[in-house]
Amino acid sequence: MKAICFYFQIHQPFRLKHYRFFDIGNDHYYYDDFADDDIITRIAQRSYLPANEMLLDMIRENGKKFKVAFSISGTALEQLEQYVPEFIDSMKELAQTGCVEFLSETYAHSLSSLYDPEEFVAQVKAHDEKIFQLFGQRPKVFRNTELIYDDDIASMVKAMGFKAAITADAKHVLGWRSPNFLYCSASAPKLKLLLKNSKLSDDISFRFSNPEWASYPLTADKYIHWINELPQEEQLVNLFMNYDALGELQPRESGIFEFIKALPRFAAEHDIQFWTPSEVVSKFKPVAELAVPYPMSWTDEARDTSAWLGNTLQQEAVKKLYSIGERVRLCTDRRIKQDWNYLQASDHFFYMSTKHNDDGSVHSHYSPYDSPYTAFTNYMNVLSDFMTRVEEQYPASIDNEELNSLLLTIRNQEQEIAKMHREVELLRNNIVKDTTGDFPIDEVPEVEPAKKKATAKPKAATAKKKAPSAKKQ
């Protein structure tokens, strides 16, 4: 018996508007709202919404035997809530079937796992809280930005309580081994690893509608036949891809929706099942440990991080950004926190890549820049303004350790003052009232001693009001 594990990624960054050098210090809003609205609305109409409807039909038609997993970045969820709220509703409906698993990731789809462990943990927690708030699930399986993974990341992921992570099938890591097994981490043996089958995944994502491809046209029965013909011991096939491959990268006219919808029928003929990542982890045992000393990803033939960090432009931008991470975390300004999240999206650094990408990358597909140098200049202008705002609150002349100590002292003083205020309020409430019982001592009206007898009049008036009721009795 074989199992297919479908995983779809949904991510959209907040795109930066054209930000000139002369805008630094004058304009603190960095985003192209029109582009964000236009792109995510178009993709949702062509891909996300019809694909959700299709998956819901597939789950119902196959007696809930068809199952999938999603990883949706926090920035994508924010845009979908704002511009396409009907998608959130349809995803909630899918979640209620019990056949959809939501995976964990960084909120901003960032590179924080490589540069800032504290930020990495904070973003994962923020993302998972967002998933629970919207869909009622606590993710148990982790997938990092662009499936970036190494031994150090594995240790951090396991320390956060995840039972498994999904990553790429890099040839320089796997060697002769197949991705069609469950593995575990060498640095954290209790962390299970699901590896993408790049060949079969990319057949759908990038080659499906290409008439020059040798296997064109790809049909559901042919595809399932390929999976069934794999060696008997290779029982797991992980199909990981971007969700917009369905309807956007592979347009509806190509027959992509009909292809996906037909898969369960042909799979059932060969007793091939569909499992979520958590089910895979619970039903399969790891066959070996994988040691990954250097970061790998699912992008480019090299399966490394050079798509985001391969040139000096990218390295300078990333290092500059994360150099102020500690100060931003000390900050309480909501707008600064929000901009910090949005500026971390890995897309900004991918746009600066000078590599030739022939793998149909979705990042280049949506890049708003004419060249990587334009992308770098625009981003650094925005980052300069952002860093100035941070330094206005926490001057660069004070080092991080000293600043941390000062802020700790201030917070302790604020807590002490708040405690004293509570004690004063408690004492006020317990003040002994004066003999009339009408006023606390500190609120008794200032009156001359001879006139204090007048305070008895209200009681007399009360007595007179009660008289009529006594007569009725």
Active site residues: 146
Identify the CA nearest to 292 among candidates 169, 411, 121: 169
Burial of 226 (0-12, 13-18, 19+ CB in 10 A): middle
Rg, the chain, Cα only: 30
Are 30 and 16 in contact, with CB atoms under 8 Å apart? yes
* Alpha helices, DSSP H, located in 147-303: 151-159, 171-174, 198-205, 220-228, 256-269, 277-283
Q: Which distant-in-sequence residues (6+ apart) come within 8 Å of 103 by Cβ? A: 7, 69, 70, 71, 139, 141, 142, 143, 166, 277
Q: Which distant-in-sequence residues (6+ apart) come within 8 Å of 387 by Cβ? A: 320, 324
User: How far is residue 396's CA from residue 99's CA, in Å, rounded to a whole number?
Assistant: 51
Residue 86: which H helix or E strand, with range? helix 85-95
3-state DSSP assignment of residue 143:
strand
3-state DSSP assignment of residue 9:
strand
Burial of 72 (0-12, 13-18, 19+ CB in 10 A): buried
Are 246 and 257 in contact, with CB atoms under 8 Å apart? yes
